[in-house]
Amino acid sequence: GQRRIGFEQFERTLELVAEKTGGDLEVLREDVVAAHGPAFAGTQREKVRLHDDKSTYTGIHGSDGRHSIPVSDSTTTTGRRASRLSIDCEATNRSKSPASPSPSRERVKELFFQYDKNGDGTISIDELMPILQSVANMREADIRKMFRTMDKNGDGSIEIDEFVSWVFGRQSKQDARAKAALIPSDTSGLQLTFYKFCGPAATEMDGKSFTKLCKDCKLLGKQFSVTDADLVFSKVIVPGQRRIGFEQFERTLELVAEKTGGDLEVLREDVVAAHGPAFAGTQREKVRLHDDKSTYTGIHGSDGRH
């Protein structure tokens, strides 16, 4: 009456496959592990000559740098701007920023005891909550969900072995956000700023948030406009996607530095210094007869409440 199998039953299926094929069971298990998971392939569209063959493009489409066609001196302003920012996918992949070195286990254990405020040898949800809310700008529901993931034995607190296992184990995107706050590294400050511009519940950034980051971090100016920000974002985003992850964001900063001729490290420091988005409420216009109390008459002019 069942339609699904558990892990033990799955192991039995591998034994049966090995018996049927006459193969070695251990080799078969290694082949399954090497796959790392399912492979997905979307529907492949048919080629359209007038779209795919860029040599057939005419007008601005033939000269626009976004179509990777060389731009002549007589091209339009839009074409020139796109050409200056044009990069191919291979160059993007080659120039990915190197990953930060992993922290040592000793360092992770030191941080564990820092977060154990009452010194009982465990970290409670009440000790973790304010750190992740203030530093990582995470929602309470997301923090509680992550806490349950860390608490392997389900006793309501995180022991040092559980904490170390979580830090060095496989993590979700929300876990990566929390790790950037709890385990400082060379890029954690930049990561936290990135996540704050993504929003409390998001771990990836859309084009609107990227433009706001450029504005709030004062990256926009004569050398780098809002249009340039849109073009940079379009260069790093995966076709068909609407958001970018942290590694792609690091690549956008490299492109901004190239466009403006600035120093990449200084640019990264400027972003980190912003700490997150700046918010400003709508300012109402002044109304003279309301705001200028010298114009009040009658009881309104003599009433102490004014």
Could you give the CA distance from residue 218 to residue 107 in angstroms, rounded to a whole number? 35
The per-residue pLDDT for 300 is: 63
> For residues 134 and 168, is the Cβ–Cβ distance under 8 A?
no
pLDDT tens-digit profile, the chain (306 residues): 788 888 888 889 988 998 898 888 888 888 888 887 787 666 666 666 666 666 666 665 566 555 543 434 444 444 444 444 444 444 444 444 444 556 788 989 999 999 999 999 999 999 999 988 888 888 899 999 999 999 999 999 999 999 999 998 887 777 888 888 888 776 778 888 888 888 877 889 999 999 999 999 989 988 999 999 999 999 999 988 899 998 999 999 999 999 999 899 999 899 988 877 876 655 556 666 666 677 767 666 666 555
Q: Output the pLDDT for position 235.
A: 92
Nearest to 127 by CA among 136, 118, 135: 118
* DSSP tally for the chain: helices H, then strands E: 18, 4
Backbone angles phi, psi at 43, to 5 degrees: -60, 130
| Residue 125 contacts residue 192 (beta carbons within 8 Å) | no
Beta strand pairing status for 158-159 and 205-206? Answer: unpaired
Whole-number Å distance between alpha carbons of 224 and 61: 23
Query: Reduced to 3 states, what is the DSSP secondary structure of residue 22?
Result: coil
Tell me if residue 105 falls in helix, strand or coil.
helix
* H or E element, residue 122: strand 122-123
CB neighbours of 250 closer than 8 A, spacing ≥ 6?
96, 97, 187, 190
